[in-house]
């Protein structure tokens, strides 16, 4: 796992994670001051459209108090906190990177959500779940990092109760990437699996899932990442003041890279809901 953790740090979104604490200091909420999930949501969601996207999942899956949920690749813990706070359900948030997991856990504690939300640090491909079962597996912009899709989906099938669902927002390849583009995505985005749309769906079906809903998010996410980059650059003076120049530049580089690949028409976005029969 140490190699995986070291490798994924090539993605600039995962460096300078102290930026969360810088934002909290701006809000006057340093130290162990109690927080709410809503106060964090401007900067703890590492996917597109923040909590609106999470609300969409809650609605599509029909998550309520009794749904046992596992999130794969939970990052700073933002989506899992939003689910726990808004549905009252129990959720397990799995995150590969120890530093992110520690911070996520600390923030969850400060939000008073630890009874509902359990943070686990590990690689989904090697975690031992001790016969635990879930009704829903959810994941936002994480599974493209994981190269072994067939193994991942077989594991997911084992973890889900019958009738359980796999919901993901993820990336795919709309057109063939050149070798240079692949190399850039492998490092800058730590992309481990970017199949075309047909293959993406066939892999779920092969693993025994029934596809209930597939949305191509590519155009929407192209616009989203364009606006994100524009707004981030427009706020440069503020961001440099709050975070310092190195953090500003690292995130700007990341936002530019992602947006460039969406704008080329080659990087695509997918939202998928699949059910284990
Ligand atoms: C782009 S972030 C998204 C975080 C969160 N889902 C969100 O939307 O705020 C993807 C996360 O997946 C994690 N990840 C990647 N591979 C993983 C694996 N094999 N097992 C568990 N987590 C993984 C990364 O460390 C990263 O924090």
pLDDT digits (tens, 9 = 90+) for 205-219: 999 999 999 999 999
Give exposure, 14-50, as e/b (b: 16+ Cβ within 10 Å).
bebbebbebbbeeeebeeeeebebebbbebbbbbbbb
What SS3 state is found at 173? strand
- Distance, CA of 31 to CA of 29 (rounded, Å): 7
Burial of 126 (0-12, 13-18, 19+ CB in 10 A): exposed
Name the residue with the closest Cα to ligand 1, atom 4. Answer: 75
Query: Does the beta carbon of 268 lie inside 6 Å of ligand 1?
Result: no
What confidence category does residue 4 fall into, taking pLDDT thresholds of 50, 70 and 90? confident
Mean pLDDT along residues 45-59: 98
pLDDT digits (tens, 9 = 90+) for 129-186: 999 999 999 999 999 999 999 999 999 999 999 999 999 999 999 999 999 999 999 9
Quickly count: other Cβ atoms within 10 Å of residue 259's Cβ: 21
Question: Which runs of consecutive H residues, i.e. helices, occur in 128-208?
Answer: 149-159, 179-188, 197-206
Ligand 1 centroid to Cα of residue 67, in Å, is 22
Residue 59, pLDDT above cutoff 90: yes
Going from the Cα of 101 to the center of ligand 1, the distance in angstroms, rounded, reads: 10
Whether the CB of 123 sits within 6 Å of ligand 1:
yes
Burial level of 234, CB count in 10 A (0-12/13-18/19+)? exposed
Fold category of 2-275 in CATH: Rossmann fold (3.40.50)
Task: Express as a percent the part of the chain with pLDDT over 70.
Answer: 100
What residues contact 18, with CB distance under 8 A and at least 6 apart? 247
Domain boundaries, the chain: 2-275
pTM of the model: 0.97
- Return the pLDDT at 253: 97
78 in Cβ contact with 105 (< 8 Å): no
Cα–chain center distance at 37: 16
- Ligand 1 in reach of 17 Cβ (< 6 A): no
Q: Which atom of ligand 1 is nearest to the CA of 95?
A: 22
- In the reported structure, the alpha carbon of residue 94 is separated from the centroid of ligand 1 by a whole-number distance in angstroms of 8
> What is the rounded CA–CA span in Å between residue 214 and residue 226?
23
Out of 11, 37, 57, 73, mutate this one to test ligand 1's pocket (max ligand atoms within 8 Å of CB): namely 73
pLDDT in tens, 75-89: 999 999 999 999 999
Two tokens, residue 272: 């998928």
């Amino acid at each position: 796992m140490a190699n995986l953790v070291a490798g994924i740090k090539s993605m600039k979104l995962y460096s300078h994670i102290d930026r969360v604490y810088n934002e909290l200091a701006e809000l006057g909420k340093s130290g162990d001051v109690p927080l709410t999930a809503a106060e964090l949501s401007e900067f703890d969601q590492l996917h597109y459209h923040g909590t609106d996207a999470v609300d969409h999942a809650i609605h599509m899956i029909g998550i309520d108090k009794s749904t046992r949920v596992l999130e794969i690749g939970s990052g700073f813990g933002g989506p899992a906190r939003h689910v726990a706070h808004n549905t009252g359900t129990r959720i397990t948030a799995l995150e590969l990177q120890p530093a992110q997991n520690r911070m996520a856990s600390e923030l969850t504690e400060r939000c008073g959500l630890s009874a509902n939300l359990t943070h686990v640090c590990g690689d989904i491909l090697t975690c031992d779940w001790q016969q635990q079962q879930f009704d829903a597996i959810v994941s936002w912009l994480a599974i493209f990092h994981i190269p072994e899709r067939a193994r991942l989906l077989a594991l997911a099938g084992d973890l889900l109760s019958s009738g359980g669902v796999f919901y993901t927002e993820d990336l795919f390849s709309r057109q063939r990437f050149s070798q240079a583009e692949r190399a850039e995505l492998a490092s800058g985005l730590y992309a481990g699996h970017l199949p075309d749309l047909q293959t993406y769906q066939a892999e779920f079906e092969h693993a025994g899932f029934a596809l209930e809903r597939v949305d191509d998010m590519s155009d929407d996410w192209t616009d989203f990442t364009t606006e994100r980059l524009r707004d981030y650059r427009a706020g440069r003076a503020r961001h440099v003041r709050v975070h310092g120049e190195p953090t500003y530049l690292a995130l700007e580089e990341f936002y530019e890279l992602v947006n460039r690949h969406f704008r080329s028409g080659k990087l695509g976005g997918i939202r998928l809901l699949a059910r284990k029969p």
